Amino acid sequence: MINSMNAQYEMLTWDTEFFGYPVAKINGGCLSDEELEFCLLNLNTKAKLVYYSSEKPLESDRILHEFNGLLVDKKTTFVKENPRPATLNPAIVEYNADMPLNELIDLSQASGVYSRYRIDPRIENEKCDDLYKQWILNAIQHQLADRVLVYQIGQKLAGLITLGTKNNRADIGIVAVQARERGKGIGKALLSAADVFSKEKMLTAIQVVTQGANLPACALYHSAGYEVRKVEYFYHFCL
């Protein structure tokens, strides 16, 4: 990690390998224009893609224009405190190797429609699909999740949710429902599975991060008793 003035940036090994070009992240939250510009100037010959998130939007568009920046997400963290006891819908079971993997991958990729990688037109859609494919494959290997649950209708996978723990809270990674099955209460049933999981783990809160532009997901979380705890403005700079 490199210290520049009061800001810090770091090169991201996994992202660099995944995209095939140098990727960096600027840390520090609400930087001044001067601090952000200093970091970007230092990274200009080191990185092609730079992530930066802030609790406030940039005050001017000058840096966006000069460094090819784009606001790609209003990253929104929802939290539900003290979830009530719930029962698991009998249609929800843990994913296993006998279930269709392609359907699971398709569901995962569909959940990324509002992803910052999908929103940024300078990143190929195939890369976003690959990222979500890798995410769900790692989740079923218990590298990114403790549990992967699916909602089954017959032999078909109608929905999925990945669950883990983070910051002493139950943590929802991916929630997805097949487009043809939406409006049938499947999303709420999957969120109830998160309530069950939190009680099993003796955790008193559940968190989930989604995109501010994903209005259907935000409405679902609000209806299930979640409240917005944090909003971050996420930028991509292509140097």
The number of beta carbons lying within 10 Å of the beta carbon of residue 202 is 6
Helices within 81-211 (DSSP H only)? 101-110, 116-119, 125-140, 186-200
Low-confidence residues in the chain, pLDDT < 70: 1-7
Do residues 112 and 132 lie in contact, with contact meaning Cβ atoms separated by under 8 Å? yes
Beta bridge partners of 234: 53, 73
Do residues 169 and 203 lie in contact, with contact meaning Cβ atoms separated by under 8 Å? yes
State the pLDDT at residue 179.
93
Residue 45 CA to residue 6 CA, distance in Å, equals: 20
State the pLDDT at residue 142.
95
pLDDT in tens, 111-125: 999 999 999 999 999
State the pLDDT at residue 28.
81
Q: Residue 86: is it exposed, middle or buried by C-beta count within 10 angstroms (0-12/13-18/19+)?
A: middle
SS3 73: strand
State the pLDDT at residue 1.
52
Of the candidates 49, 41, 43, which has an alpha carbon nearest to the alpha carbon of residue 1? 43
State the pLDDT at residue 92.
98
Residue 73 has, within 13 A of its CA and on its CB side, a CA count of 25
State the pLDDT at residue 190.
98
Residue 109 CA to residue 105 CA, distance in Å, equals: 6
